[in-house]
Structure 1
């Protein structure tokens, strides 16, 4: 459904989508990008070398590019060069929420396209890819908000709310769960970071973050995905939960396991490796 809404500072909401029903049997999963255009010009060609047939990227938040600026222009440019037709963003905490939230309010429950290929997904959002049911639930807590400025680089809208959690659960089972925030039952690498708190974040910030992970876990327990992918923790790791579920944490930009290929027929995942980048 076309739209001509305008975001703050002139960004154009180019179109909307109630859902997606894609035939793609293989897609890319990509973790935090943090607006890193140089990483895009490394990552997208590396992905094409591994599999030039893939057309869809599922990005797991902290996308971080200005949605009307040079960053998204870089994504569009390298998408054209490498055959990517769509980047579907499960939003994170470090996003331009001052622009995104008003745009989403004007298109409630709909994905909004903000560039040639980039779509920002609402919370929650359901779609179908290769007949697999996919649930996206963006958002997370910024444990570093004490060093950020409210309304400038930190926004209350980042948080997953009770209403979002409830709507996600009411939608029923999903084969694939996409979040930015980690669940409680996360990979050992993620749990080690949480337990050690290497950057010394304050107790109040850690408590909010823990509550967000509990929300994600309740959603996961209810919808019972075979695979649950998340970003946010800046590490790669996997966990088998013993009930047929698997959790995968993707690393951040500049690190090779920032991305990988998901086969939706077999529900198997292959992370990108250094040799895939031609190193």
Structure 2
């Protein structure tokens, strides 16, 4: 979709201004450059020592009252997991002058709070493939400056640019953040562009694709989630279809054995000619946490663990 030049100029100016906004928790320039690797140095291979499984999650929506017990549950039921791969809508946001009230941390306070919780529950890192509800003004500028490295947003939180590739357990991963918002227009940076897809596909095939945007696969749950009803305008439905088509083109070109996405607040799995695609549910609902064996790519759902390990289970 083509954006009006004046509108794009306004968004570009706003994005450029976001460079000067201080992010909490504050990191020094040297700390910002540290990668989520064993020694902190840049490397395609980010596997931790003796790492066997990671947890794939998504769509936390700054819901701190749900995230804390979820982290506790993962720690207790999958104590070997030290890495969280998050497929978007963490709601990493710009600082604001006043905090929202309520039971959850306001979105601008959520990242530093989460950073503390990751340390509390002994998770070494969270890798975020950003969703449409992240601070894209700042991410646009960061990724323009450094398209081939993780952006470190907190001590234990790193955000992956579109097209970034890494390895875990000898398997290759490709990240494609962003999606078209269905309720409101989130601006020109929220969804992948044709150029993003071309750049990402140029590296060839991968084992695992991580996106926020949904893929066009045969999944009844997606059909139900995308049913227009009174909620979504024709304009937003068209934007979503265009974004999903782009990301599906990427999927068809890199031919992954395994793919994960979120965004639709629904769950489902589908087999394709290349492998298996999983849609992760929003936090608190079933099939929200996938435990992924980084060597075999075997997937086990947290709620499917043996009954003896069902501790502090969240309500469905």
Structures share fold, TM-score greater than 0.5: yes
2:51 maps to 1:34:
no
Contact 2:52–2:80 under 8 Å retained in 1: no
What SS is found at the alignment partner of 1:44? Answer: helix
What SS is found at the alignment partner of 1:113? Answer: strand
2:176 maps to 1:137:
yes
What SS is found at the alignment partner of 1:145? Answer: coil
| Equivalent residue, structure 1, for 2:258 | 227
The counterpart of 1:193, out of the listed 212, 216, 225, is 225
2:183 maps to 1:160:
no
Contact 1:173–1:225 under 8 Å retained in 2: yes
The counterpart of 1:177, out of the listed 196, 205, 209, is 209
What SS is found at the alignment partner of 2:215? Answer: coil
2:29 maps to 1:21:
no
CA RMSD after TM alignment:
2.0
Q: Which moved more, 1:172-181 or 1:66-75?
A: 66-75
Gap regions ≥5 residues in structure 2: 1-17, 36-41, 96-107
| Higher share in strand | 1
Structure of higher CA gyration radius? 2
Q: Aligned partners of 2:75 and 2:169: how far apart in 1?
A: 20
What SS is found at the alignment partner of 1:158? Answer: coil
1:200 CA drift (Å): 2.7
Give matches, 1:73-92, under 5 Å.
Answer: 73-92=112-131
Gap regions ≥5 residues in structure 1: 1-5, 147-153
TM-score (norm. length: structure 2): 0.78
Q: Aligned partners of 1:143 and 1:264: how far apart in 2?
A: 33
Give matches, 1:238-249, under 5 Å.
Answer: 238-241=269-272, 243-249=273-279
Q: Aligned partners of 2:82 and 2:61: how far apart in 1?
A: 22
What SS is found at the alignment partner of 1:172? Answer: coil
TM-score (norm. length: structure 1): 0.88
Q: Aligned partners of 1:142 and 1:229: how far apart in 2?
A: 18
